[in-house]
Structure 1
């Protein structure tokens, strides 16, 4: 079944380019495309897409505010911020509002589609540049001696196999399933199975929570 997608972006050229990327793939279906947050607030609850590519700077109501208002009433809609912003404040504000992923507009079409699929399969895709900032923030907040890591977190990590720890480390660097499979010479399906077991063992639901555990939070 095709993954249904909606796009919210007030820049016509970028919006149309994203529309084409989605339309040209048989595995994805474009349900709607909107130029304002106000329009998105009205239409998205009706359309109920699997994934929304949401710009941050929309002129009127921001993309972050849209997510903050829509997510509580529409928990099944997955929001991926698709933006030019790399500022730490914007990243964490978007994630706190309920965004499930964060990808830069300069991302290639193939990687964008991979990220949409990963999001729909329970992942939390982030562009490598964004992931580095998230990881750096976790590391800064956890600049404590190794022995200070909580016993419960350490115990959960100890339940992971060497391969699972290896994959978790690559997830923490922002790599997509496709990139992990290429680096470890295993199939994407095998990566997905390992990630499922990682989430299960760590009692988390997505990449961000798993990375959080990885750094002892």
Structure 2
């Protein structure tokens, strides 16, 4: 059973998400809140596997909530729920090590798939969000110069697909290789980049112009 906590200030959206999650046999909403006030105590008590986090909330917003979660509970997956206009917030969430980024307008099935994907070690990202992130970094962040990481052709191909927001399964299909082989290549990519998550790999790849 995947235990999920929701942070969303819109009560109708929050109630809808809770009903959707509780309708699934393998998922359960164990808590829902309208902002991130006292988030550390909430998470300590509820012990979720995944947090669905709105970005714009009153008092303590989603970015601050994300930072608190990652500081105290780095193993918990946090998927940000965004609207397309929140460009600066999306960038800030990447730097704060969010595990995924999904548009609120997505269908319920895409949201459920995203939760399962993040539990499987992936980094769900709506393609339109991924495209916007790439554009924003290209336009606003100066590429960092330094020792260039040497990737194999296949590793570079897979890293580029990760940055574009594709899941492990889709990457395997696009590259005509097995899921296990994708995992092996990604482990090698992590080692070379000195990171431990898809979010960190994507963030560094974009910042340093590695793809």
Global fold match (TM > 0.5): yes
Give 3-state SS (helix, strand or coil) of 2:37's partner: helix
2:40–2:72 Cα contact (<8 Å) kept = no
Matched, 1:198 2:198: no
The aligned runs of 1:180-195 (5 Å cut-off) are 180-186=171-177, 188-195=179-186
Does the 8 Å CA contact 2:35/2:57 hold for their aligned counterparts?
Answer: yes
**TM-score, with normalisation over the residues of structure 1?**
0.78
1:186 offset after TM fit, Å?
4.7
The 10-residue stretch of structure 1 (126-135 or 46-55) with the greater mean CA deviation from structure 2: 126-135
Alpha-carbon distance between aligned partners in 2 of 1:190 and 1:20, rounded to the nearest angstrom: 37
The structural deviation recorded for 1:185 is: 4.7
- Does the Cα contact within 8 Å between 1:23 and 1:30 map onto a contact in 2? yes
Structure 2 CA distance for partners of 1:192 and 1:27, relative to 1, 3 Å: farther
In the alignment, is the contact (CA less than 8 A) between 2:122 and 2:168 conserved in 1? no
Per the alignment, do residues 76 and 106 of structure 1 end up closer, same or farther by CA in structure 2, a change over 3 Å counting?
A: same
> Does 16-25 or 177-186 show the bigger shift?
177-186
- Runs of 4+ that moved beyond 4 A: 185-190
1:167 equivalent in structure 2? 158
Match of 1:153 among 141, 144, 148: 148
With the length of structure 2 as denominator, give the TM-score of the two structures: 0.80
Structure 1 Cα separation of the partners of residues 129 and 171 of structure 2: 17
Runs (5+) with no aligned partner, structure 1: none
Q: How many residues align?
A: 207
Aligned Cα RMSD in Å? 2.9
Q: 2:170 aligns to what? A: 179
